[in-house]
Structure 1
């Protein structure tokens, strides 16, 4: 795009948006940071699109497309100015603070942790599934590192819908051949019409790019020799299937790929040494979330972590709430009351469990790439935020409710509010709930994995009844228990 079309700092668009500076550029567009003159302190990303008269419809189509979408991994469009006489059109959308995946990779010489790659794949599949289920389905068609934004918490956002399109059943090929070489599916170059499977090819290309440290994005003879040695071998068949030349030979939906990823994780677990304490199995994530504050989330998480520590070599428990105080109090008791907890290391240990207090999500991602067998996340009470995402992607998500019957409806309400998410892995725990109430709740929810949590006054100690419950929750996941010495708190 000709530089003469760049907007100068101080330019006002639509009498409202004050241009600050360029934050990104493409072949036919620039993106600026803009201040909102009507909402002081609010900033937006303003995309300036330049086109010829015959392309005006494409720009208006992009605006119309974005307006219909609502997903946390997509930018929200808030204003649109159609092409003027010079061919400039403007889209005003959410300003996403962060860096593109392209820049993130560059800062790490193309090498990122395997857990990051798999979590990125899950996030991409989440938003692709949403787009493909749109009526009509929306095909992104340009799934490359520069079109993926990462927030400071390493959450993914898809950006630049410039070549996205609605799938048209009556067409047998695309009218416009667009997409980035190396990441676009073969049918985008004229062999057929792009559809949801084209985006799955793009995902495969992206994963191969990450698995090879940026050396390859297309599968050809000899590519397997440049795949990183530490990359999970079970991921290679998934990538190869995504990258088949024929759409019919690929996965047919984002959900199919997600199932394959889940099976890969479970397969990796069963292939590892689960029968011995010394065998490292890689991260197994257990997320504990309460339906509301005070339900017993932290107590249940601690019980879980120490049960697992009696079975695995290395276990961590993470307090994913920067405002929480529970772990600070535990650290004071363990290490002494006199020192200020705020000035100490956020990591401390109790009876074989590593505690991480007040931990940000970005640090958790680093933690998951470590050597822990199991990581237990204390997510606090239910909220529609990043902690909910960690609950949804955990290997064992545990939802803690109230044992008193008059408050059991809170669990039902949370479950019903999240029906858009798969709940087949969820486990439901209600402290001190009577057995007849548990049976009624199981019947009402048509769910078998609803349990009453027994009285356990010391969550750091072994309790026969609690071990029995944990044995049910983690059947097939943990080996036989190895009893350890009793631990008690004492004020120094």
Structure 2
């Protein structure tokens, strides 16, 4: 059954919200897109629910729950009220411009990139960790494709908290058995109370569903034969453990799952290197949204940071027309105008004016980490190297008048999911970073602090680059200091 909508186009709700159209319907509720008459141009999602006493309590509980939550992957609630004429309750919240995971997956099935599945797992673990960190824990309990929205940048937003609940330590089982068959944990059907491990089961069911082109969402005999072969091998045991029947046999926290997936990513990077690269080589690619945003400066600073964690490191200028490295070489060699296209500085190899063919040779060499300076985006050749990188970084300006360049490039890149892609803004303040996060609809935006000399790693810069490279820092790193002296 589907809840019949009570409002029509043009109707004004609560003297403020002008109804545009229905954007979603379910058995117990309907969601409208509405325009805010007090804030022209602002749009909200309005959830209408039936007004039976039991239903009113459910919606009120959802409202109270959302009010106290504050996370970028959760909708922000702005209003809640009842109306006597419709006999319904209304919840006004952020409108998320995107599609549900259900629709995204239905249109692609087996063509969903494996990188997208990994990115989805990362983002869901992030928001589940936030919910489970509350006291008492907030349990989502309905982690299914239709309850996950994807923005245009493929960022995750959880929607429909209608059956979320706070964990009650004194309870022996859930009062009401709720959840979607096939994605809900066994304990949600009765016998014991659901807890954080119930959401982890739901995560496993969702990942298995995506990994089998929608055929399975529970672990049964022979299901391994249906898991797509392009997924990282070590992901299978992670899914299997998430889907254990008994909660105590699953992972016990989001942190445990994250660590297991991190080990899997590290294993995949070492065992299955990209074509032409040395096994275990970290490849970072830095791409500017426009000229003059600090791409080369960032590459040098990143190379020096990685050299404190890795052994042999190279920074590669991927353009035969660029001249920045030539000027650096001239200074480093005392104005002698060296003819070699490679030179060493502070223990790092610099490759200047490098063609794509030479880049392949660099990646196949003896380096533990390589930083590719792709300059400002101009052609598909540079984009190809960017998309193949382990750590892709887009450099943009924090200035509002230059934001269009970054947004345009980000929208183009949204067709290519990369779980570790970062947007970095040199010299941008906190307000600029937040503005760009909203424009790109992603939390993966960082401001790079002032660093006049990229050859000298200051404490603020070191902390920032440590955060950017968090998933790639070896556990047994070395500390090295650098100082670029003019001769």
Give the TM-score, by structure 1 length. Answer: 0.70
Q: Tell me the equivalent position of 2:355.
A: none
Q: CA deviation at 1:166?
A: 0.5
Give the aligned partner of residue 311 of structure 1. Answer: 362
Query: Which of the numbers 409, 427, 442 marks the counterpart of 1:360?
Result: 409
Residues 1:91 and 2:121 aligned together: no
In 1, the alpha carbon distance for the partners of 2:417 and 2:483 equals 28
Structure 1 residue matching 2:136: 3-state secondary structure:
coil
Contact 2:299 2:371 (C-alpha < 8 Å) held by counterparts? no
Retained in 1: the 8 A contact 2:72–2:443?
no
Cα distance change on mapping 1:229 and 1:17 into 2, 3 Å: same
* Pair 1:269-2:269 in alignment: yes
Instruction: Confirm or deny: 8 A CA contact 1:288 1:379 kept in the other structure.
Output: no
SS where residue 234 of structure 2 aligns?
A: helix
Please say if residues 299 and 372 of structure 2, whose CA atoms lie closer than 8 Å, have aligned partners that are also in contact.
no
The verdict on how the C-alpha distance between 1:311 and 1:77 changes in structure 2, with shifts beyond 3 A counting, is same
Decide whether aligned partners of structure 1 residues 287 and 218 sit closer, same or farther in structure 2, where only a CA change above 3 A counts: farther
Within 5 Å, give how 1:125-204 maps onto structure 2.
125-204=125-204
Who is 2:109 aligned against?
Answer: 109
1:222, CA displacement in angstroms? Answer: 1.5
C-alpha offsets along residues 253-284 of structure 1, whole Å, 9 cap, x if unaligned? 1111111111101111232469x956677985
Change (3 A) 1:239 1:354: closer
SS of equivalent residue, structure 1 residue 311: helix
CA contact (8 A) 2:423 2:444 kept: no
User: Which residue is 2:77 aligned to?
Assistant: 77
Structure 1 match to 2:298: 297
1:320-367 deviations in whole A, cap 9, x for unaligned? Answer: xxxxxx526xx6xxxxxxxxxxxxx45459999999996734544655
Q: Deviations over 1:161-181 (max 9, x none)?
A: 111100110001100101001
Superposed counterparts of 1:78-477, under 5 Å = 78-82=78-82, 84=84, 87-272=87-272, 285=284, 296-300=297-301, 304-306=315-317, 309=359, 311-313=362-364, 327=376, 345=379, 347-348=381-382, 360-361=409-410, 363-364=412-413, 367=416, 379-381=424-426, 383-384=433-434, 385=437, 389-390=443-444, 401-403=451-453, 408=458, 411=461, 451-452=481-482, 454=484
Residue 207 of structure 1: how far off its partner (Å) = 0.4
CA RMSD of aligned residues (A): 4.4
The answer to whether the 8 Å contact 1:117/1:210 transfers is: yes
Instruction: Look up the SS of the partner of 2:18 in the other structure.
Output: strand
Superimposed CA distance per residue, residues 32-76 of structure 1 (whole angstroms, 9 cap, x where no aligned partner): 000101111111011111141133222111000000011111110
What is the DSSP-based 3-state SS (H/G/I as helix, E as strand, rest coil) of the residue aligned with 1:27?
coil
**1:352 & 1:91 partners in 2: Cα distance?**
42
CA contact (8 A) 1:316 1:353 kept: no
- Secondary structure of 1:99's counterpart equals strand
Secondary structure of the residue that 2:64 maps to in structure 1? helix
**Cα offsets for 1:113-163 (capped at 9, x unmatched):** 111100110000000000000121100000011111011111110111111
Give the Å deviation of 1:233: 1.7
Q: How many residues align?
A: 402
Residues of 2 paired with 1:181 and 1:125: CA distance? 21
CA gap of 1:279–1:354, structure 2 versus 1, over 3 A, is closer
Counterpart of 1:334?
none
The Cα offsets for residues 203-229 of structure 1, whole Å up to 9 and x where unpaired, read as: 000000010011110000111111112
Supply the distance in 1 between the matched residues of 2:480 and 2:2 (Cα, whole angstroms): 63
Contact 1:288 1:300 in 2 (8 A): no
TM-score of the pair, normalised by structure 2 = 0.70
Partners of 2:371 and 2:6 in 1: CA distance? 51
CA distance in 1, matches of 2:36, 2:422: 38
CA distance in 2, matches of 1:398, 1:272: 32
1:173, 1:191 within 8 Å by CA — same for their partners in 2? yes
Find the aligned partners of 2:269 and 2:19 in 1 and give their Cα distance: 52
